[in-house]
Amino acid sequence: MRILELSFKLLTLFGCWRPESWTSLHKRILYYVYSSIMILILYTFMLSQLMDIILIVDNADDFTDNVFVFVPIVITCIKILLINILMKKPCKPLESTEMKIFHKFDTSVQINTQRYTCLALLTCVFIVLTSLSANFKQRKLTYRAWLPFDYSSTTLFFLMYIHQIISLVAAGLLNIACDTLICGLLVHICCQLEILAYRLKKIIFYTDILRDCILQHYYIFKLAILINVKFRLTMTIQFTMSMFVVCFTLYQLNNTTTKAKYIEMIMYMICMLTQIFIYCWCGNEVKLKSRQLIDDIFEMEWLTLDESMKKSLIIIMKRAVTPIQITSGYIFPMNLESFMSLLKTSYSTYNLLQQMK
C-alpha cells in the first residue's frame, strides 16, 4: 500500500525522487545524472529571468511581465532543495472499516491531484500553443530572459526556445508534485484522526486497544509538527510569493491587448489561486478534524469505563483542546481566513501598482 502515488510519480519523472526499485549502482548514477540535468535546466531558466530583471528591465510593465513567471520558478527551485510513519503500526489501517476510511481520503487526494495536474497541463499547453503562433514565427522567446550570447541563429534560438518550454512544463508539474505531497500528508492526518475516533469508540468492547490509540494520537501530532518543521520554509515562501504573483497577474491582465493572451492570463491566475487554496483548505480541515476529536470522545459510552481508562481519555482530550494548526513560518495559519486575507492584500497591492502607473 502506497500513499500519494501520483505525487511521487511526478517527482520521479522530473528527477526529484529516485524509484525505490533502482537500487543498483549504475541505475542510481543514471538517475543522479538525469536529476542534475533537470535541476540545471530549471536553475538556468531562473537565472536568465533574474538577470533580465537586474540588467534590462526599466519599467513597471516589463517588470511585471517577467516577475509573474519568475516567482513560481524560484518557488519550484526552493522546493527541489527542500511517510513512512503513516504506513507503520499503530497508524497503519488494519481492519476493513479502517481500510475504507483510508481509501476514502487517499482517493480524494488522488482525484484532486489528477484535477490539479490536468489544469496545469492544460494551461501549459495553451501557453505553448499561444507562444508558437505569436512568438516563434517572430523569433521571440516565450518569456523575457537575459542570455550571455547572441541567440539570433536558428539553432541557438531553437535550443533556447525548447529550454524555456521544458522549464515551463517541469516547473508546473514539480510544483504540483510538491504541493500535493504536502497537502496530501495533511489530508492523511485527517484520515488518521478519523481512524483514531473509530478506534476510540471500540474501547468499550476492546479495552486493550487504548494503548495503541494513545500512541497513534502521539504519532499524529508528531507528524503534524514534522510537516510544520520540514516544510515551513516552503509554505512561507509559497504563501508570501503567491500574493505577489496574483497581484502581478492582475496587473498583466489589465494591460493585455490580445484575446489569446487574456485567456492565458486567466488560466494562469486560476492555477495560482488553486495552488494556494489547497494549502489553506487542507490546513483548515486538519484544524477542524483535530478539534472534533473531543466531541467524538464525549459521544462514547465513557461512563462505563474504569478510572484508569477515563484518565487516559482525559489526557487525549487535554491534548486535543489545542487543535493542530498548520502555519506558514509559525506566524500565518494556513486556513480559509488566511486565503481571503491573501486575496485582499493582493488586490490592495494591485491597486497601488495601478496608482503608481
The string of pLDDT tens digits covering residues 172-225 is 887 788 788 888 888 888 888 888 888 888 887 777 778 888 888 888 888 888
Q: DSSP label at 328?
A: E
How many angstroms separate the CA atoms of 214 and 349, rounded?
47
Please state the pTM of the whole predicted model. Answer: 0.76
* The pLDDT value given to residue 145: 79
Alpha carbon of residue 257 to chain centroid: 32
Taking alpha carbons only, the member of 194, 344, 341, 186 closest to residue 278 is: 186
Cβ pair 99, 105 in contact under 8 A: no
Q: What is the pLDDT of residues 309-351, one digit of tens each?
A: 888 888 888 888 888 888 876 677 888 888 888 888 777 777 7
CA dist 299 → 160, 197, 225, 295 (Å): 63, 10, 28, 6
Mean pLDDT, the chain, as a whole number?
A: 78
Helix axes 259-298, 210-255, angle to 10 degrees: 160
Alpha carbon of residue 215 to chain centroid: 28
Query: Is 256 buried (19+), middle (13-18) or exposed (0-12) by CB count in 10 A?
Result: middle
Q: Domain tally for the chain?
A: 1
Q: Which domain holds residue 252?
A: 5-356
Q: Which residues does residue 333 pair with via DSSP β-bridges, in sequence order? A: 327
Question: Where does the pLDDT of residue 77 fall: very low under 50, low under 70, confident under 90, or very high at 90 and above?
Answer: low
